[in-house]
A and B are shown apart, each in its own frame.
Chain A
Amino acid sequence: MGEGSSKGKAARVRRSTLAAVAAMAFVAGCATRDTGSAEVWDPLEVPNRFIFSINQAVDTIAIRPVAVLYRDWMPKPAQRGVHHMVENLGEPVTAINDAVQGNAHQAATSMARFLVNSTLGVAGLFDVATSFGLKKSDNDAGQTIGYYAGVEPENGGFYLVLPLIGPSNARDAVGLVADAAIDPFGLAIYNLGSSTAYWIYAGTRYSVTVLDTRVRTMTALDDLQRNSLDYYAALRSAYTQRRAEQIRQKKEKTDTRAELERRDNLALVR
Chain B
Amino acid sequence: MPLVVHRRIMLRLAAGAAVMPLIGSGLAVGPAAADQDPAAQLIQQTAARVIELIKTKTGEAREAGIKQVLESDFDLDYMGRSALGVHWNQATPQQRERFLKAAASAEAHAYAERFGRYGGQTLTVGRVTKRANGISIVDSKLNQSDGEPISIQWEVRNAGQGPRIVDVKIEGVSMVMTRRSDFNSYIQNHGGKVEALIDELEARAKR
Contact = CB atoms under 8 A, between A and B. Distances in A.
B72 interface: no
A105 interface: no
Nearest to A229: B186
A interface, size bucket: 35 or more
Contact of B32 (A40, A241, A269): A269
A234 B178 contact: yes
Nearest to A262: B127
Contact of B13 (A39, A224, A264): A264
B131 interface: no
Interface string B2-22: 000010011001101100110
B interface, size bucket: 35 or more
Interface in A221-244: 223-224, 226-230, 232-234, 236-238, 241-242, 244
B151 to A, nearest CB: 9
Contacts of B126: 265-266, 268-269
B17 A263 contact: yes
Interface string B175-196: 0011111111110010000000
Contact of A241 (B14, B178, B182): B178
B141 interface: yes
A229 B173 contact: no
A125 to B, nearest CB: 16
Interface of B is mostly: helix
B177 A229 contact: no
A262 to B, nearest CB: 9
Interface in B95-131: 106, 109-110, 113-114, 117, 124-127
A268 B32 contact: yes
Nearest to B33: A268
Nearest to B140: A269
B24 interface: yes
Of A219, A220, A269, the most chain B CB neighbours within 10 A belong to A269
Nearest to A83: B147
Given A226-B113, A233-B184, A257-B6, A264 B17 contact: yes
Given A223-B110, A233-B184, A237-B178, A269 B141 contact: yes
B146 to A, nearest CB: 7
A230 B189 contact: yes
B142 interface: no
Interface of A: 37, 39-40, 76, 80, 136, 219-220, 223-224, 226-230, 232-234, 236-238, 241-242, 244-246, 248, 256-257, 260-261, 263-270
25 contacts: A39-B181, A40-B181, A223-B110, A226-B110, A227-B109, A227-B110, A227-B113, A229-B182, A229-B204, A230-B185, A230-B186, A233-B185, A241-B174, A241-B177, A242-B171, A242-B173, A246-B172, A260-B9, A260-B10, A264-B13, A264-B17, A265-B127, A265-B139, A268-B20, A268-B126
